[in-house]
Amino acid sequence: MNKQVKFAIIAIIIVIPLSSYSVWASDSSLQIREATSFSKLQAIASFYPLYEFAQQVGQDKVNVQLLVPEGVEPHDWEPTIQDVQLIQKSDFIIINGFGFENWVESLGEMNYQGIVVDTSSQIIKNNDEKSILFKNDPHIWLNPILAKTQVQTIADEFSKSDPQNKNFYQKNAQSYTLELDKLDSKIRNDLSTCSQDFIAFHDAFSYFAYEYNLHQHTILSSNDPHSEPTAKTLENIINTARELKINIIFTEDTTDPRVSGVIANEINGKVLVLSPLEISDDGNYISRMTENLDNLKEALC
């Protein structure tokens, strides 16, 4: 059964009481909620970083839920019947874009009537050089500068649908982007005099490397962290590590570290984690990016 048929069937068998819906008014193509002091915007974030961004912007005026369950890798995730029910009740679905959420193509079959907030839209609209260079890499959130654009896009969409709280959303976005600015400055300062070449597990850090003048080499030349490297691939990356005098090989928090371990053993090096932040844990975006920075400093400085 193909995905479109599957989602069509799911949508048909779900019945949602229309009386539970908030009142909407149409203003051209924009849907504006008739907000009251007793209502909150209902938002769903496709995966962890966007969940945090939306929470930072919406705070107590937006109920934000995480669509992909904690600990689940979002690359291959597909919504269940319960997920479709949740989606249909939401005012917003906040996505990364750049093809990261394949299931978004099936929203029509889910009968979704809300607003899809594509946080990559302004990056593409602005013809950002990085989005052209790395159009096959969706991991824009790993670059704090692009993350700021994602945060602002979320704030703008909340403001359009809830204009009476526009200043609230915009102020929150401004406060959080200042924290992202501090993170950006720390990364620049800490890595400014270090080596530039590092070996990541897969093509997740293109935007990060470009922003901070680093050179990313990867074990997997793919955006799929669960594909298998060939013997030739391992041989090539071992040779690269030796040529560039790299002694730390990165793995990810959602992948088997033994692959990186094989390479590290061959070069008498060690394995550290460089997380794409695709799953949630006890930290937050800034603390986890700081952990990535600490591991990069150990590898490069």
Rounded CA gap, 96 and 139, in Å?
8
Q: Which residue, chain included where needed, has tokens 């150990």?
A: 298
**16, amino acid identity:** I
Equal fold, 3-186 vs 192-300: yes
Tell me what pLDDT residue 73 has.
Answer: 80
Q: What is the 3-state secondary structure (H, E, C) of the chain?
A: CCHHHHHHHHHHHCCCCHHHCCCEEEECCEEEECCCCCCCEEEEECCHHHHHHHHHHHHHHEEEEECCCCCCCHHHCCCCHHHHHHHHCCCEEEECCCCCCHHHHHCCCCCCCCEEEECCHHHHHCCCHHHHHCCCCCCHHHCHHHHHHHHHHHHHHHHHHCHHHHHHHHHHHHHHHHHHHHHHHHHHHHHCCCCCEEEEEECCCHHHHHHCCCEEEEEECCCCCCCCCCHHHHHHHHHHHHHCCCCEEEECCCCCCHHHHHHHHHCCCEEEECCCCCCCCCCCHHHHHHHHHHHHHHHHC
What is the separation of C-alpha 221 from the centre of its chain, rounded to a whole number of angstroms? 19
So what CATH class is 192-300?
A: alpha beta
Taking alpha carbons only, the member of 89, 87, 156, 68 closest to residue 119 is 156
| CA triple 268-269-274, angle to 5 deg | 160
pLDDT on residue 200:
97
Give the pLDDT of residue 226: 65
pLDDT attached to residue 132 = 56
Please tell me the predicted confidence (pLDDT) of residue 70.
Answer: 77
Spell out the domain ranges in the chain: 3-186, 192-300
Report residues of the chain scoring pLDDT below 50: 5, 7-37
Residue 225: predicted pLDDT: 61
Q: What is the pLDDT of residue 227?
A: 72
Specify the residue for token string 């730390």: 248
User: If one looks up domain 3-186 in CATH, what number appears?
Assistant: 3.40.50.1980
Predicted confidence (pLDDT) per residue in 182-196, tens digit: 999 999 999 999 999
